[in-house]
Structure 1
């Protein structure tokens, strides 16, 4: 039946020992040092192998530029500034795919020019002495290093290691991929500088730059990269507006090659200026195209009417025929010109209305002024409609938000609605004007009919010719105006600071970050290791652990036996280890006195498990008693695993077992030792029934007989955590010493010891901490005869410790 005391195993669980953990960290300082050295070495090698990253910038301003040739007398009106939010629109264009495709294609930045650096290949654009002129319509070897070595100033060698029978080709004219067969060997061939290289996998011409320097014998590499991938890398260009001026934009790029970034930044701004100026000229371009198409038709009509007039006046006196019809002719001409202007306006409105209803691209609308329309509402609406349509088409490559497109479509629809209403209103007014002009023309023509027939015919032909001539002249004038305005247009984008390599610009790699990371990891990794050891290791580390787990007194701390001889007290009587055993002897005498034990005294030494140092403590405690001139005997009662014979170089052929089975007498099993006043009784042969022998009456007789002969009887027993033999022997002991070994005995064993004490299985028990070592590694020392450090100088004889550096030097000298 279980006793309530059996559950004491769950009591006295200690909290985390922060002090002990800190001391354990200090004990592993060498591990931390090695870890930090390794971490910093890795960080150093990573830093020196990383490419340096630079940052280049250019600054532009956005300012609405008015055309100096645009005045109130100019009959053409254009879209000058587009919509109001130009800065956001330009930022979007700079990061759009379509814009960067134009720049990459123009600069051919999909071609890498590389040289071999100390650790890796280096982008050497701008530093190599040559460039390649490729045939974009033919395939180029894709994503493969092509080695170029200059054998002389005018001859070079191409080397390409083919590892498979098929290679991938890229054609930059349409950005498509294909494959071609090759021999899976290293391709080597020589070419002249400027010679056309026409191979199934390579189509280019190598040209030498101006002022190339010395390059004979040097090796370089080129590589043809994916076009879309190259464009995507440049779409990361940073575009930031100045806080002080919203119309100032700063463009930035980061990379390893400053020359490449400088050229790209300047080229992207120049391309933007061209695109913006082309968009600004779109209105004029549309108008000129419309006028040109009209002039072609009118030129044919003018030529035809001219021929008719020439044929009619041939062999006739034109002045006599004109006679009295001159005034009427001039009047009808004025009416015809007025009618033509009204008709052209109506035709423009009809065409514009049909275009608005049937098209979705309004960027090609001609200027209303080509038809003589000067209504500011209609001109402004068409201008805004062209601007919105142009910007929407540009955003299609960069913006993926349906909401933004929907907002643009709503704006366009709103402008269309206003424009259609204005068209309807203006057209109604023009139809009225047309009817009035037609009435005036009818009146004039009735006057003409009263003239002679020949004069009527002349007026008819001349009327038609003059009308065409006047219209043709007017269109030529408008075309000249459009050309002047287009030629004098200025872009709204201007360089403030073009990109330029003036030195510096280094922004990476962040070597300090790597070193900080090395410091962190170099400390964290061994810290986790130590924490794992500390957390997993559930063994006794120091006296604090014992005091937290049990109320049983700790009467001594035994240091590590570094001499290698178990008879430590006898061999080195002045050592700190010997002093620790003498301290235990004094404590035991106090315990005997407290219990009023007189005469012969017995001491049982046991532990939880094997290996905790019971036998070592037994023989040395016995030695200190014997050296104090007390008759002492050690009895080896570990009948299952005897070790006592080995310590004294004896043969375990007879001992306690022989006495218990009445085979030998006490005198026959007693062995003397080199230590005065100390005898040893071995366990003897291993019996099949050790527990039964210990429980026999012969054991009591043995103890009684020994008490008559010796002052101190030391019982070296088996561990109580493994067998019950020691519990059976406890009845013969005046005092029980429970050996606990540092970093070996588990804390649960102390809890089991508490249980045995509470149940009365052991009495008068005290604890000895054995194998105590390195106060920093296992915890603080309490000075039970060990751990005094420098304060013990002159009192103990110890071997001189060799320092860390001294040990290294000794090893070096021995080599």
Structure 2
């Protein structure tokens, strides 16, 4: 159960280690912060802030006084609120902005090179480029212009390593790629001279009002930009606001050039006014066109009737009617008046029918087409068509053309139009019956002329036909006059109250200080993420306290970093902190021996998980502290596969424990003296083919017995327990075993094997020895065990590190 908890704890995220690891990266945080702050500072001083200007306009319900009551704009548009929304949608539509950009040629920019960026000089440039309309102009590439005098300039460009460029035709907005003969070019031209390059065609002309403003030897830049991208940039920075229920609209534009903002906003409103007025006038234009066709037909009939009347009167010498026909003529004239009224109704229905058959937009009906229309079914249908047309017009400004809703609306409008056409046909038929009835009455009255002379009867008939044609002609002339008058009297419903104007407004204020906060976060977040990732996936032991979570084996001591040239730390610097740490280990071992009431020679075995954890270093110095205390000590190298200890003592490894174990040499022949008093060393000797078998034989028992007979302390330097099983075979010879763990090197899972053996009771009297402890390391943990007192140890230990200069300290920070 304890083992399970220990293993579980080893998998938990160590938040404390994460915090200390993140803190230990402070120098990288400082470096990133300095870089980030410098980058932000450079960006801030290079930032060109834009301007924002606005204009105010109002949408009015300007009714034409010549419109009849049933054709008022309120009825046609759905009231002032509907008209405001339509104007608002038009101002926001991309189609509208395309017209503005095209009108002002805003896809062509003029600039000069400033300290950090190119400055847009729209509105103040001393010249302009008049491009060939049908030509393809290079886009996205600046063309440099440098005037050597008032009329001569050098045109040049440098496209780097490009082999082709993209060009656009601004008439049809098509784009194509043009191959380059050379990526660089320079040539002198004069003003008004035609420039004929494959992708740049036109001429540079002087703006007369600013002719003196041309700066000599100053670089100007001309650049064409992609039309759609230019429109998008203005659409994204253009805003229209409207308070609910108010006819007031406020348009705003943000740009880096105030003159461009002023022209853009005012031109936008001008184009809106023009389009709206043109739309209103279109109704009258359509009516005039229809009436002109009818006038031409009626005029021909009238001319023929007049000719017939004149011919008859000349041939019969008749110039007046008899008095007795006066009353009869008045009666017939009354019938003709009734017939005239019906003919006018027929004309109105014909106008309405023609409008339905020829028009595409039914958001409003022309006044002439609605006079004399009194059928309630037709009036109701007109109202429905207008409502559907307004709905369609509103959707066209914000919805794609191919959605199904347009098909549904078109079908409804078409159905209503067909119903109206049927109603018109029915009404016209009814009027036709009425005209037939009146004609019958006229015929009856005319039959009474039989008592009159035949010539007088014929004259009366011709004269009536002439008067009828003249009346019809006069009616069409009146209708045409009304339509022309309506067109001439129309005014726009949009009124620009306050145009955009440059009155010295400053640039938009932006709080750039917040960018420094982001710079701090940008430096901090990667450090935190890196520390989290490393901590999360880190499976190494970094502090002595980790051992308490990973195993039930006690910690015997903590040994610091070895700063000497070899492993003889105790011998070379007996007053160092490392030497004191090994003395503390010696004391702890003696306590273990005393606790188990061991007498005579004491044996200690030193092992570890893998190679490189400092097992040999610990073995040498543990043996050294025992020897320096006056006890006869022998250090035995039993790591037969990878012998090491001979190098630190400058002794030969040709003869050692292997020679004794195979019976070649006796004990006195394998023992070698060292420069450490009371310390002998038995190296491992030549590498044998069967090291495990040598360590478990009877010869090994005799070897240990002989050593116990000659020495007070025996230190066994054994192979890594995690790699080979040799160390397990030697545990039975040891009174105490030390398992070396190295800081920032030993992995947590490596302790699983020895912990399992200890929990099962297969290994006893074993303790951890924490090696290579660095109290100034990444985690900042303090620990006892006779090591790591820092400044409190001054005067008790040797001064191990020479005083560093400030420069060396700074360099040392980044070497860790």
Relative to the length of structure 2, the TM-score reads: 0.84
How far apart are the structure 1 equivalents of 2:142 and 2:695?
Answer: 87
Provide Cα deviations, 1:682-721, integer angstroms capped at 9, x if missing partner. Answer: 3444444444444454544443344344332222233233
Match of 1:206 in 2: 204
Between 199-208 and 179-188, the greater mean CA deviation after superposition: 179-188
Cα pair distance change 1:741/1:191, threshold 3 Å: closer
The 5 A counterparts of 1:709-728 are 709-728=710-729
Cα pair distance change 1:807/1:77, threshold 3 Å: closer
Alignment size in residue pairs: 805
| 2:88 is equivalent to residue 99 of structure 1 | no
How far apart are the structure 1 equivalents of 2:698 and 2:440?
Answer: 156
Match of 1:27 in 2: 24
| 2:485 is equivalent to residue 484 of structure 1 | yes
| 2:270 is equivalent to residue 277 of structure 1 | no
The 5 A counterparts of 1:229-268 are 230-231=230-231, 234=234, 236=236, 241-245=241-245, 247-268=247-268
| 2:542 is equivalent to residue 541 of structure 1 | yes
Between 307-316 and 275-284, the greater mean CA deviation after superposition: 307-316
Match of 1:82 in 2: 77
How far apart are the structure 1 equivalents of 2:179 and 2:738?
Answer: 88
1:78–1:383 Cα contact (<8 Å) kept: no
| 2:566 is equivalent to residue 571 of structure 1 | no
Cα pair distance change 1:7/1:66, threshold 3 Å: closer
Match of 2:438 in 1: 437
1:9–1:752 Cα contact (<8 Å) kept: no
1:637–1:717 Cα contact (<8 Å) kept: yes
Provide Cα deviations, 1:399-456, integer angstroms capped at 9, x if missing partner. Answer: 3263432453355246436634653564355335423432443355345554455655
SS at match of 1:503: coil
1:368–1:374 Cα contact (<8 Å) kept: no
| 2:149 is equivalent to residue 152 of structure 1 | yes
1:295–1:475 Cα contact (<8 Å) kept: yes
How far apart are the structure 1 equivalents of 2:494 and 2:469?
Answer: 43
| 2:133 is equivalent to residue 136 of structure 1 | yes
> Could you tell me which of 116, 123, 147 is aligned with 1:126?
123
How far apart are the structure 1 equivalents of 2:620 and 2:363?
Answer: 112
1:805 is displaced (CA, Å) by 4.7
1:25 is displaced (CA, Å) by 2.0
1:464 is displaced (CA, Å) by 4.5
Higher relative contact order (CA 8 A, sep 6+): 1
1:541 is displaced (CA, Å) by 1.7
1:147–1:159 Cα contact (<8 Å) kept: yes
How far apart are the structure 2 equivalents of 1:167 and 1:173?
Answer: 19
Match of 1:622 in 2: 623
The 5 A counterparts of 1:285-684 are 285-303=285-303, 332-333=332-333, 335-349=335-349, 352-353=352-353, 356=356, 361=360, 367=366, 369=368, 373-375=372-374, 377=376, 378=378, 381-382=381-382, 385=385, 389=389, 392=392, 399-400=399-400, 402-409=403-410, 411-413=412-414, 415-416=416-417, 419-420=420-421, 423=424, 426-427=427-428, 429-446=430-447, 448=449, 450-452=451-453, 455-456=456-457, 459-460=460-461, 462-501=463-502, 503-504=505-506, 506=508, 518-660=519-661, 666-684=667-685
How far apart are the structure 2 equivalents of 1:491 and 1:394?
Answer: 19
How far apart are the structure 1 equivalents of 2:404 and 2:450?
Answer: 67
Cα pair distance change 1:177/1:786, threshold 3 Å: closer
1:56–1:505 Cα contact (<8 Å) kept: no
| 2:69 is equivalent to residue 65 of structure 1 | no
- Any stretches of 5+ residues in structure 1 without a counterpart? none
How far apart are the structure 1 equivalents of 2:396 and 2:90?
Answer: 10
Cα pair distance change 1:323/1:146, threshold 3 Å: farther
Relative to the length of structure 1, the TM-score reads: 0.84
How far apart are the structure 2 equivalents of 1:171 and 1:331?
Answer: 73
Cα pair distance change 1:550/1:81, threshold 3 Å: same
What's the C-alpha RMSD, in Å, of the aligned pairs? 4.4
1:611 is displaced (CA, Å) by 1.9
1:598 is displaced (CA, Å) by 1.9
Cα pair distance change 1:383/1:140, threshold 3 Å: farther
1:607 is displaced (CA, Å) by 1.9
SS at match of 1:207: strand
1:557 is displaced (CA, Å) by 0.4
